[in-house]
Amino acid sequence: MPDGAAPILEVRDLAAVYRTRDAVVHAVNGVSFTLGRGEVLGLVGESGAGKSAAMLALLGLLPARSASVVGGQVLFDGDDLLRATPERLRRLRGSEFGYVFQDPATSLNPVLSIGHQLAEPLRVHRGLSRRAARAGAAELLALVGIPDPKRRLEQYPHQFSGGQRQRVMIAMALACKPRVLIADEPTTALDVTVQAQILELLRDLRRQLGMAVIWITHDLGVIAGIADRVIVMYAGRIVEQAPVRALFADPRHPYTRALLAALPRPDGPREARLRAIPGQPPRLETLTGDCPFRPRCARAFDRCAGPRPELRPVGPEHRAACHLVPDPAETAHA
């Protein structure tokens, strides 16, 4: 770390697979990054890049029947979460780690009241009584800006709008003031005004609680507004990581460039997002040894047929995995 502060979370070579009936899907293939205290780290990449899989893997939340972590380390407070007992992981989840899921429509149990679900983390981790947890739940609802919290606590998820459910999910994740919040596309299902409100809310909370945030999104516009640093994932790997300004000012990986080129201009149509890159991401069942972006890369050259490029430094805290970036080992030789 540049300022000498120890990171709160350090992920090394994380790898995870999904097993389907007849294939192994290599969803996460050696992801390494650090997360500083109070830092907001943006995680972007196309659908299927392995963003959710990586985050689920690091908290042991992958479905046990169909997926497994196949390697790596996740260092938090000096221990490796991948080797922690289920009980220790359970204690960390919800208290030190908050997780906001991608889909607010299905992340709340339809048959339990909102109050019950919001009180759950308080009861589990704080051991609060039913009554105290309920009071806490009301405060949380107020915190995420839902009016008339006492009455709303009695209601069920179907009586909340999509945006309100998303806020409830955020409130649940924040209930125990976690040190790390993982937010998996917390705003995609929302309309623009609600998105802006939630972004504002999280900015506030981050200031107040000093928590670190990993923010997964498709929307580079959101990243520009909130993140300190950005990780770009492609086919289960990090292809570029950089401070947010450097990434927007000087993207080095052709994939990142394509993403940025696909960004809507203020005067352009709003809907042009990541989908605008031609071609398909590679099949994760059968990954080859060369650069995974090669079939879609406009700047591919002869070396790209060779072994896959590793992440190489291109600037302060800025690294990219592309043969266009000079290999420091080779330049040292020359």
Partner 1 sequence: MTEPLPAIPPRRRGGRGAVAARFAAHRGAVAGLLVLAAIVALTLFGPLLHRIDPQYLDYLDRNQGMSWKHPLGTDNLGRDLLAQVLSGGRVSLAVGTSAMLLGLALGTLVGVLAGFVRWLDGPLMRLVDLFLALPLLPLLLVVIMLFRDSLRAAFGPETGIFLLIVFVIGVTSWMQTARIVRGEVLALREQEYVLAARAIGTRPRRIVTRHILPNVLSPIVVSAALGVANAILLESALSFLGLGFPSDFPTWGRLLFDGVNFMSLHPTRVIWPGLAISLTVLSVNYIGDGLRDAMDPRGDLPPIAGGARRNRRGRLGVLLATRRNGRRVLQGKGE
Q: Give residues in contact with ligand ATP (CB under 6 A).
A: 18, 20, 25, 27, 45, 47-53, 66, 102, 284
| Of 329, 322, 281, 320, residue with least CA distance to 300 | 322
Supply the DSSP string of 204-256, one letter for each residue.
Answer: HHHHHH--EEEEEES-HHHHHHH-SEEEEEETTEEEEEEEHHHHHH---SHHH
What residues contact 156, with CB distance under 8 A and at least 6 apart?
110, 111, 112, 113, 114
Phi, psi of 204, rounded to the nearest 5 degrees: -60, -50
- Residue 154 binds: one of ligand SF4, partner 1, Mg ion, none (C-beta under 5 to 8 A by kind): partner 1
Query: Minimum Å distance from CB 18 to partner 1?
Result: 13
With binding defined as CB under 6 A, does residue 294 bind ligand SF4?
yes
Read off the amino acid at residue 55.
M
With CB under 6 A as the contact rule, the residue among 50, 94, 163, 254 that binds ligand SF4 is 254
- Residue 110 binds: one of Mg ion, partner 1, ligand SF4, none (C-beta under 5 to 8 A by kind): partner 1
Query: Minimum Å distance from CB 25 to ligand SF4?
Result: 22
Residue closer to ligand ATP by CB (options 18, 33) is 18
Q: Cβ(170)–Cβ(114) under 8 Å?
A: no
Beta strands 318-320 and 67-76 are unpaired
With binding defined as CB under 6 A, does residue 233 bind ligand SF4?
no
Q: What is the CA radius of gyration of the chain?
A: 21
Residue closer to partner 1 by CB (options 35, 56) is 56
Does residue 185 come out as left (phi exceeding 0), alpha (psi in the -120 to 50 range) or beta?
left
Beta strands 318-320 and 312-315 are antiparallel
Query: Minimum Å distance from CB 81 to ligand ATP?
Result: 18
Query: Minimum Å distance from CB 255 to ligand ATP?
Result: 14
With CB under 8 A as the contact rule, the residue among 27, 69, 81, 169 that binds partner 1 is 169
Cβ atoms within 10 Å, residue 202: 23
With binding defined as CB under 6 A, does residue 312 bind ligand SF4?
no
- Which residues are near ligand SF4 by CB under 6 A? 253-254, 291, 293-294, 297, 299-300, 304, 309, 322-324
- Which residues are near partner 1 by CB under 8 A? 59, 61, 63-65, 90-95, 97-99, 101, 103, 106-113, 120-121, 124-125, 154-156, 158-159, 169, 172-173, 175
